Structures are given as C-alpha cells and as structure tokens.
C-alpha cells in the first residue's frame, strides 16, 4: 500500500498539534490583554493618557525582545516542551501577583510585574512556533502555520473585543485573573503533550524537506524573507502605537470601554482573514512583491484609522465607518507580512527555535519603537496627538521605502543559474 504523502497531511489530525493550537489560543488571549488591551485598562482604572501608555508600551517592547532572544537558550537547557511548562507555571504565578496589584491600585507594582510577564510571554512564542513546525516540509508547514496564525489571530480579536466589558463592569482583579486562568490551561495542555512524540509526517512518507527547491524558488524565498523581516517591525510599530493612541482619540474617548475595544478589534479580524487566505494557498510563496504591496497598504490603513477622528474632532457614524474600512485594510496587510516573515523564516531554517526567536525579537523591536516615537512626539508637543501620528507615520513610511529599495536592488541582480 502506498504511504500517504506528507504534503497531504492535515495539520489538524495530530493530537499533539491540537493541544499545541489550544495552548496557543489560551496564550494569545493573555498576550493581547497584556499588550493591546492594557492601555484600555490603565485609561479606565488609572486615568492614564497616551503619554503614560506610550512609555509602558515601549518598556514592554524592550522586555519582549530580551524574552524572545532567551527562547533558544531555554530550549537547549530544558527542551522546548519542558521549557514551556516551566514558563507557563511562572506566568501563572506572576499573573496572580499582577491581579493583586491591580486590585490594590498599586501602579508601580503593576508596571513592574507586567514587564516581567511580558518578557516571559515573549519566550513562549518561539518555542510554540518551533514545535508546530517540527517535522513538516514546505507544503505541510504552510498549512500548519496557517492554522497556527488563524488560531491566535481569531482568539486575540475576540479577547480584545470582550476585554472592554470586563474592564468596565468587573472588579480589577478579574481582568488579570482570567489571564492566570489562560496560563494554567496552557500549562495543563503542555504537561500532557510532554509524553507525546513530536508532530511529524506519516510513517514511511518521504521527508518533504529533502526535495531541493529550484534556484528561482530559493531566490524568491530569500527576497520574501528580506521584505517581510524589514516590514515586520513596522507592523508592530503600528500595533503598539495604535493601542495607546486609540483610547485617547477624539470621539473614541466618549465611547464606553466595551464599545471602544469592540471598535479597536476590527483590524484584528482583518488580520485573521489574511491568515485564512495565506494558510489556504501557497501561490504567494512565489510572489514576494505581495509583501511590498502589503507594506504600502499598511501605511494607508494606519493613516486611515487614526486620521478621521483627529481631523473631524469626533467620531460620528461616517467617521466610524471610515475607521472600520481602514482597520480592515490595515489588518489584511499586517497579516500578510506576519505570515510571510514566519513562513519564510521557518522554511529556511527547518523550524528552528532560533529563527522563531529572531521573528519575535523583531516584533519586540517594533513594540518598543512605535510607543517610543509616540512618547517623544508627545513630550515635544504635549497634548498634540497629531504630532505623534505624524511621527509614527514617518517610521512606517521609512520601512516601506527600505522594502522598496531592497526590491529594486533585487530586480537588478542577475538571474539565478539553474
């Protein structure tokens, strides 16, 4: 009987992968609440404006970079699954301390603990990405990462949309108590996964990664990796500049936390849609220019999201409709860039934790840079959100220009030899 091809392997068939996806979903809920959702919490509970939230976001970005770069060392010392078990146990303990600080209203303790929690969360993601990628050739890897991206994107969107109601109506400790519950759930799932073999292709199937790609595909992958990795930090400049800005935008301030987080979650739905599209098709693997177009769309989407309420000074129906349309464009572009960075990094490195660490460290760079630029602009022009928006837009435009320059240079390079 002919063995099944690994290229036909369904990424949802392995019990190990199912538990990894479930752990990832729980981790993404806590991750989005600790980052994108946190400015809504501090704005509602402590009265923080964009300036304070910018500073906290920049500090979180720095700890995120450090945590992501620690992942390969943790994998070598304990193994990927054992490292994840230790990390989620520590995350649950720190999360419980954050809930206590929130209930007491202790802002310094909350900030310090959130920074520690952010660094630990950053260490988990390269380990999860590497485990999901283990034993998969290019086609199976594309499907696995497609499911992986859809899972965390959808759960993040739903979590952010629901977070406002929890912030508005529940005691402060509930917001972080649910983060702890997510960490404990992931801990339970990964503790059972420790006894299982890693997800691989069916027995007897030829390893897909042994089939050498042609020279043109190698060139396209290399170009796509450069374009996506140049643009990836800018995507998180957008995400983590938008998060502190959003609660302070004219018109949005008048909305309840529940309505504001619902509006702010639209771009996450657009990103989830992009992950569905990239996960169902491999045609984009040979179209690196798509990443350049996505970078330009990201710039338009960011400006279209924040400019209408700033220009009108309120958020009536037409302004909200314009924001929703721009957020959808923004989310689609962010999703294409993220999927490209993760896929081309993993397929080039055969799923290494090191490349997962680089991927997440670039995210942390954007997470630090976006809020830092916004904070400096607000320091120079206190109370003028337009200056912060202009500064962040300039950083995004620079990223698009760099990606364009790389694409132009690649176009002038000699054709690869067969």
Count of residues for the chain?
418
Contacts (Cβ under 8 Å, ≥6 apart) of 396: 234, 237, 238, 298, 299, 302
Query: Is residue 198 classed as helix, strand or coil in its secondary structure?
Result: coil
**Mean pLDDT along residues 149-157:** 90
Class of domain 12-199+213-412: mainly alpha
Q: For 161-209, how does the pLDDT look when each residue is reduced to its tens digit (9 = 90+)?
A: 888 899 989 998 899 999 999 999 999 998 875 554 454 444 444 444 4
Angle, CA 346 vertex, CA 115 and CA 241 arms, to 5°:
35
pLDDT at residue number 203 = 40
Chain position carrying tokens 């520690």: 116
- Mean pLDDT score of the chain: 85
pLDDT at residue number 58 = 92
How many CB atoms neighbour CB 273 within 10 A?
17
Q: For 232-268, how does the pLDDT look when each residue is reduced to its tens digit (9 = 90+)?
A: 899 989 988 888 888 888 888 888 888 888 898 899 8
pLDDT at residue number 7 = 37
pLDDT at residue number 409 = 84
CA distance 215 to 38: 46
pLDDT at residue number 337 = 93
**Mean pLDDT along residues 356-375:** 88
Residue 91 in tokens: 């995350």
pLDDT at residue number 310 = 87
**C-beta separation of 291 from 317 below 8 A:** no
**Mean pLDDT along residues 307-328:** 87
Q: Where does the pLDDT of residue 391 fall: very low under 50, low under 70, confident under 90, or very high at 90 and above? A: very high
Chain position carrying tokens 């698009």: 400
When comparing pLDDT for 293 and 212, which is higher?
A: 293
pLDDT exceeds 80 at position 368: yes
CA distance 118 to 220: 34
Nearest to 366 by CA among 235, 243, 245: 235
CA distances to 139, 241, 339, 356 from 283, rounded to whole Å, are 11, 32, 13, 23
CA distance 398 to 216: 29
Q: Where does the pLDDT of residue 109 fall: very low under 50, low under 70, confident under 90, or very high at 90 and above? A: very high
Torsion angle of C-alpha atoms 396, 159, 147, 357, degrees rounded to 10:
50
Q: Which helix (H) or strand (E) holds 237?
A: helix 215-245
CA distance 197 to 207: 17
Furthest-apart CA atoms within the chain: distance in Å: 72
**C-beta separation of 350 from 207 below 8 A:** no
CA distance 366 to 269: 21
CA distance 296 to 363: 18
Q: For 63-100, how does the pLDDT look when each residue is reduced to its tens digit (9 = 90+)?
A: 999 999 999 999 999 999 899 999 999 999 999 999 99
CA distances to 35, 68, 164, 337 from 111, rounded to whole Å, are 12, 20, 20, 30
CA distance 167 to 170: 6
Nearest to 375 by CA among 59, 6, 10, 81: 59
**C-beta separation of 308 from 244 below 8 A:** no
Chain position carrying tokens 């199937």: 205
CA distance 357 to 122: 9
pLDDT at residue number 197 = 43
pLDDT at residue number 68 = 92
Domain residue ranges in the chain: 12-199+213-412
């Amino acid at each position: 009987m002919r063995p099944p091809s690994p290229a036909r392997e369904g990424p949802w068939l392995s019990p190990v992968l199912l538990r990894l996806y479930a752990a990832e979903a729980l981790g993404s809920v806590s991750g989005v609440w600790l980052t994108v959702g946190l400015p809504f919490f501090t704005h509602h509970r402590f009265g923080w404006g964009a300036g304070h939230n910018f500073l906290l976001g920049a500090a979180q970005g720095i700890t995120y970079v450090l945590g992501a770069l620690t992942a390969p060392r943790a994998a070598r010392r304990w193994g990927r699954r054992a490292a994840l078990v230790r990390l989620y146990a520590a995350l649950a303990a720190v999360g419980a301390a954050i809930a206590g600080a929130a209930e007491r209203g202790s802002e310094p303790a909350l900030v310090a603990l959130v920074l520690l929690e952010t660094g630990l969360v950053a260490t988990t993601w390269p380990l999860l990405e590497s485990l999901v990628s283990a034993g998969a050739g290019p086609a199976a890897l594309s499907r696995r990462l497609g499911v992986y991206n859809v899972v965390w994107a959808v759960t993040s969107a739903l979590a952010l949309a629901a977070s406002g109601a929890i912030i508005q109506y529940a005691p402060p400790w509930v917001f972080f108590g649910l983060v702890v519950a997510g960490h404990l759930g992931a801990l339970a799932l990964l503790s059972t996964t420790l006894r299982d073999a890693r997800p691989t292709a069916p027995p007897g199937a030829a390893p897909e990664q042994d089939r050498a790609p042609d020279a043109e595909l190698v060139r396209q992958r290399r170009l796509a990796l450069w374009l996506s990795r140049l643009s990836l930090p800018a995507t998180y400049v957008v995400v983590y500049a938008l998060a502190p800005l959003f609660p302070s935008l004219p018109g949005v301030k008048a909305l309840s936390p529940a309505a504001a987080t619902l509006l702010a979650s639209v771009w996450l739905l657009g990103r989830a849609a992009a992950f569905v599209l990239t996960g169902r098709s491999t045609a984009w693997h040979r179209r690196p220019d798509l990443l350049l177009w996505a970078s330009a769309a990201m710039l338009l989407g960011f400006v279209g999201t924040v400019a209408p309420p700033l220009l009108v000074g309120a958020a009536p129906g037409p302004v909200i409709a314009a924001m929703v349309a721009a957020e959808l464009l923004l989310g689609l572009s962010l999703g294409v860039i993220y999927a490209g960075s993760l896929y081309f990094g993993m397929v080039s490195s055969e799923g290494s934790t090191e490349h997962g660490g680089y991927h997440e460290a670039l995210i942390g760079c954007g997470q630090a840079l976006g809020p830092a630029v916004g904070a400096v602009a607000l320091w120079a022009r206190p109370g003028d959100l337009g200056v912060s928006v202009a500064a962040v837009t300039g950083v995004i435009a620079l990223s698009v220009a760099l990606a364009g320059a790389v694409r132009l240079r690649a176009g002038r390079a000699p054709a690869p030899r067969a």
